[in-house]
Structure formats: C-alpha cells, structure tokens
Amino acid sequence: AGPAVLAFILVFLDDGITWHLINHPSHKITHGHAYHWDTVVIGAMVLVNSLLGLPWLVAATVRSLNHVHALAEKTPDGRILS
C-alpha cells in the first residue's frame, strides 16, 4: 500500500500544480458549463486504468502550458488578448 500512496500523492500534486499554472489569471481563460466535469472524468479514467493495469493519465504540465499558449489570442508583441 505504501507505493500506491506515494503514486497517488505524485499524481495529485502533478495535477494540482498544472491546474494552478493553467488557470493563472494572466491566461484570461473563460470556463464553460462542463469545466468541472474534467476532474470527474479523469478520476474515473484513473480508476478504470488502475483496475485494468493500464498507465495513468497525468497532467503533463509542460505540454498543457504549451497548449494554452498556442490557443491564446495574442498581440504582435506576444501578449495574450482574451
């Protein structure tokens, strides 16, 4: 049970840090009605993947931040408009 608890803490911290970086006010993100379902769906998928012995889904912090910056509307000098 020890390694499972450590793995849970690692995934929890990775997701939490990524969530806070992505939702920083400087990104000016607006959220739709289904925004909070993301956490429920990811949690269910981690549970199913754990039961089937498949790899877990992780937030992939660098990839997530690059995705947000790539989708943002920017001025010619690189500032985010939204």
- pLDDT by residue for the chain (82 residues), tens only, comes to 788 888 888 888 888 888 888 888 877 777 766 667 767 787 788 889 889 988 877 767 887 778 777 777 788 887 777 6
Instruction: State residue 10's pLDDT score.
Output: 85
Which residues are within 8 A (CB) of 33 and not within 5 positions of it... i.e. 6 or more apart?
A: none
**Separation between Cα atoms, residue 49 and residue 47, nearest integer Å:** 5
